[in-house]
Amino acid sequence: MKKILILNGPNLNLLGKREPGIYGNQSFESFFEQLKQQFSTVELHYFQSNHEGALLDKIHETGFEFDGLVINAGAYTHTSVALADALSAVTMPAVEVHISNIHAREEFRHHSYLTSRCKGMICGLGLFGYELAIRFLLQNNE
């Protein structure tokens, strides 16, 4: 059975409450339950932290054993060389996801330190981007 980790960064624990006009009104926990039902033949894992070190530790812990990573590093996308280095250091392929269209927002959100370390990036498609990233990882990791 394929093992895929979904890794969410800071403030994504507030999905469903935080700026619903940008991020929607569904919590990630309820969405994750839908994903687990939809991908019942995949071992999906979910981890969220507001702390950069915890995200790094999770990449290190799973990066040589899991079949793929869906990462939404939140604001760390635009600031964290350490997360970019961690993605380069491990063997699991990653897809970067952003719920909003980061290129239609503030200028500082237009740059990602992670994109060049990932197989691809999906932004602006809401939570559906996570489903697409999982589908890509499954199709390109057989």
Annotated binding site for substrate: 72, 78, 85, 99-100, 109
Q: Could you give the CA distance from residue 35 to residue 94 in angstroms, rounded to a whole number?
A: 18
Active-site positions read 23, 98
Residue 43 φ/ψ region, left for φ over 0, alpha for ψ in the -120 to 50 degree band, beta for the rest: beta
- Specify the residue for token string 């970067």: 96
What 3-state DSSP class applies to 2? strand
Q: Could you give the CA distance from residue 141 to residue 2 in angstroms, rounded to a whole number?
A: 9
Q: Of 21, 39, 27, nearest to 131 (Cα)?
A: 39
